[in-house]
Amino acid sequence: MNAKQKKAQAIMDLLDRLYPKTPIPLIHKSPFTLLVAVLLSGQSTDQSVNKITPALFALADTPQKMMRLSPARVEKIIKTVGLAPTKSKNIVLLSQMIVEKFDGVLPQTFAELESLPGVGHKTAAVVISQAFGHPAFPVDTHIHRLAHRWKLSNGKNVRQTERDLKKTFPQEKWNKLHLQMIFFGRQYCPARGHDEKTCPICSLL
């Protein structure tokens, strides 16, 4: 086992002790509602998204129901999250596309998910890993930051960091590990006010 593999194993062991269970932080009840929640979480916190999605999903929790709403109706419900006007249009359009192009069933491949309006690679990766259980390693700004701090990647963007992390950690760990890293980043390794001496992982590296 080389130095990088030892470091990766130490990180996995610590995260498993701290976060043995990894509940998905976004309220949802199906792959479709998870997709909508993840899309809404861009430029917003999970907490702010969780405040609005119960009302939205009470009104429309399937693509068939969502496509019948006007973007203005959706925007009225989600207006407190960032980029609400654009997200409202995309949610209605992607619902229509799921019904018309995919027979009302949310697709399970990166290419098909990323063809939906407003769905980028990270959003698709979250749905693939958390809704369908396929191996993926969604990398957001939190994980991108941690990978740099822990010297696991020097990637200039999240796609490069994703490739580096996939090479570093075993595939069967990816789905759980990405959530563990998000939880850890929020609790111990924030962007601001971070103290390397007290951080359980940074202090060891």
Tokens of 51: 């405040």
Tokens 């992982």 correspond to what residue? Answer: 201
- Contact at 8 Å (CB) between 99 and 60? no
By annotation, the residues acting in catalysis are: 122, 140
Tokens of 147: 């990978």
CA distance 188 to 68: 43
CA distance 174 to 179: 9
Tell me the one-letter amino acid at 173: K
